[in-house]
Structure 1
């Protein structure tokens, strides 16, 4: 399953990217996020692994490609699924940035999550849209 979400943020690209790299933005935009723990590799570089700790689950992030301020591409592993997320940043003007995320779920593990993905695929996109709206608000209010 693959989908794309995007949002325009009324801030310069360098500010948006700075917030994107800051785990504090995750606390504000993704419900239940607690902290990020670096596990291995050089932080911020391809191959680096981090554990994203949420109240109800953990994710392992592996950076595939990082050319910020242009693009950040990573794989996220959870006990029930694996997905990749490619985030692209484009300056639309001096004080406006377009953030586009391309999400691809490559594996679902377990009957229940496979059922949800098959019959309610929009649920995943709606969640990403919600995170982007909260991230936009966080950026614009800083």
Structure 2
């Protein structure tokens, strides 16, 4: 399953990247994030891995992020792996009149019957979740609005 989401954030690209690239800020725009841990000696660089833990309602989800391409401020590509799901994220950041257009191309690959059925039955849920993260980042970056205690 593939889709693209995008949003314009009212910040110059350099400021946008500083906020996006700081793992301490993730709790302010990634709903349900409970913890993260750097798994590599080279955090933030190509090949670096980070463990992420989320609580979504009664469901706990752990995943591993791997940076596969880091060419900031233009782009950063990552993968996210959790049970039954491999997600490839290609993120592009374009400067537009003092604002930043964030374009995110998502590709989900599913293994296991349950995850494949979920993807077939609820494909919109994945795109909706991506859009929520982008809107929450925009609110945090522009206004300092945090989702940490929601």
- By the TM > 0.5 criterion, same fold? yes
RMSD: 1.3
Q: List 4+ stretches of structure 1 deviating above 4 A.
A: none
- Does residue 20 of the first structure (1) align with residue 43 of the second (2)? no
Once the two structures are TM-superposed, the CA of residue 112 in structure 1 deviates from its matched residue by 2.4
- The whole-number CA distance in structure 2 between the counterparts of 1:80 and 1:141 is 36
Name the structure 1 match of 2:44.
44
SS of alignment partner, residue 42 of structure 1: coil
Q: 1:44–1:23: structure 2 CA closer, same or farther, 3 Å change rule?
A: closer
1:1-142 equivalences under 5 Å are 1-55=1-55, 56-94=60-98, 96-106=99-109, 108-142=110-144
TM-score norm. by structure 2 comes to 0.87
Structure 1: runs of 5 or more not aligned = none
Q: Deviations over 1:84-117 (max 9, x none)?
A: 10111110012x11001111012x1332221121
Aligned residues: 140
TM-score norm. by structure 1 comes to 0.92
